[in-house]
Amino acid sequence: MNVTEKETQPYADQRPGTSGLRKKVTVFQQANYLENFVQSIFDSLEGLQGQTLVVGGDGRYFNRHAVQVILRMAAANGLGRVLVGRGGLLSTPAASCVIRKHGAFGGIILSASHNPAGPDGDFGIKYNIGNGGPAPEKITETIYQNSREIRRYRIAEHADLDLDTVGEHHIGTMVVEVIDPVSDYADLMQQLFDFDRIHALINSGLFQMRFDAMHAITGPYAVEILENRLGVTPDALMNAVPKEDFGGGHPDPNLVYAKELVDVLFAADAPDFGAASDGDGDRNMILGRKFFVTPSDSLAVLAANAHLTPGYRLGLAGIARSMPTSQAADRVAERLGIELYETPTGWKFFGNLLDAGKATLCGEESFGTGSDHVREKDGLWAVLFWLNLLAVRKESVQKIVTSHWRSYGRNYYSRHDYENVDGERAGELMKRLRDQCGTLAGTRYGNYEVAFNDDFAYTDPVDGSISERQGIRVAFSDGSRIVFRLSGTGTEGATLRIYLERYEADPEQQLQDPQHALADLINIAEQIARIRHYTGRETPTVIT
């Protein structure tokens, strides 16, 4: 094997965000941009020599090229073995599964998640550690510092490998094993859920469903699990063929971007159940017939019914949710007598809790739920969990959720996204809110009195690490909340997210439209933050 050390110059913009490094494809296509970041990863990891690495991505444009580069660089940096998904494909939760099952040192996952793809779209890369979860901040910060100082990278001179056939190759002494990207993950799902009961439901003649893969990574997973193992007919799978540009769509499973599925589930002849997943397979949207399940409610319902599934029948150690996620799961944790952990946004914050056995289920309002089976959120896992509940309870999605509300109360909840706003103006809005922190207690806005307002900070209960400036909270005396955050997952401008929540205990008042139920809080958010003034927008881009 001929290894070349090539000279390079650092780029100043390679600091990983909450989900790795995400940029436009055209940025990654700059000379040595990808190579610099990959070398910075390898330079940050001690004990890498001879170890096993997992590599794969969501199949978006630039994925295949990046995989070939990473394989040659892995060989040049002394890796002993690389497991790569056939076609360069691995969903994010499947990559976590493979890392954990095969005892890999870590993995490089190529994805920009729910962001659009194609030559003019987005690309992303992140490193996951040996527990299968995203690298903690101490590693990502080291990667960033290395990227600022890099002067050379190592790469093996070798022809591209055949990634489309399962089997082994060699680059020098390093073994490259092309694996089925679905099998390990599908086998794990079959251990967690009652496939026999789900199969019986699907084949009863009394149940219809649709799953929308949005031309992204979960298409092959849906074919193997839902069609081959559980018996759904091919017409139940929508957009199941992965495409490098995701078919020109925006693979974000919400009411706006998954409109094709939403139209099907809200039609006169709607099926009983609908679900969608995103670009890299770690998010989910759950729908019943003419009924939308918010991600916050989904987490609470899954937690309350976890004992009905084989994988969770012995109970939950705890529940973890991100701070902006509604407090619906808190009420379930209280009734079950288990801990509820409130963390910053970003799945990496759940890793310590899962590893320490403090939490079993985790969820974020951004359409992500998961558990201790892997260390990423997991879209198809959530779909299978819901199918298991439907098979056991023999009730509709709407009945399960409304029954939950009657038992626990309803947390009316909505997120308003203002996408691609001017970054400087968005920063000014957040500064205004931070300057107000601690000053609004006792202030009345109509029927609402502020109990406190702060900038959320988190102390990890496992390692004691502190994360500050995680979002502005305005909490009211009746338990209602408004939360303001800037998202770190986009590549253009800034995305302002506003989260609104109000608790309703009266079953007679639990069937309102959320935007109507939250109308007063929507107006208060405008009064406090002057959203129109700073964003120049009259309405949000997306409401979920």
Residues annotated catalytic, as ranges: 113
Cα dihedral 460, 461, 465, 467 sign: positive
**Cα 245 from chain centroid?**
19
Tracing tokens 């209602």 back to the chain, one arrives at 480
**Cα 176 from chain centroid?**
28
3-state secondary structure of 177: strand
Bridge partners, residue 253, by sequence: none
3-state secondary structure of 371: strand
Sheet holding 122-128, edge to edge: 21-24, 122-128, 106-110, 52-57, 81-89, 174-179, 167-171
- CA–CA separation, 362 and 351 (whole Å): 10
Helices 295-305 + 397-408 axis angle, to 10: 80
Cα angle for residues 195, 201, 204 (degrees, 5° grid): 135
- CA–CA separation, 298 and 317 (whole Å): 18
Which residues lie closer than 8 Å to 269 by C-beta, 6 or more apart? none
- CA–CA separation, 170 and 179 (whole Å): 14
Tracing tokens 């799902």 back to the chain, one arrives at 189
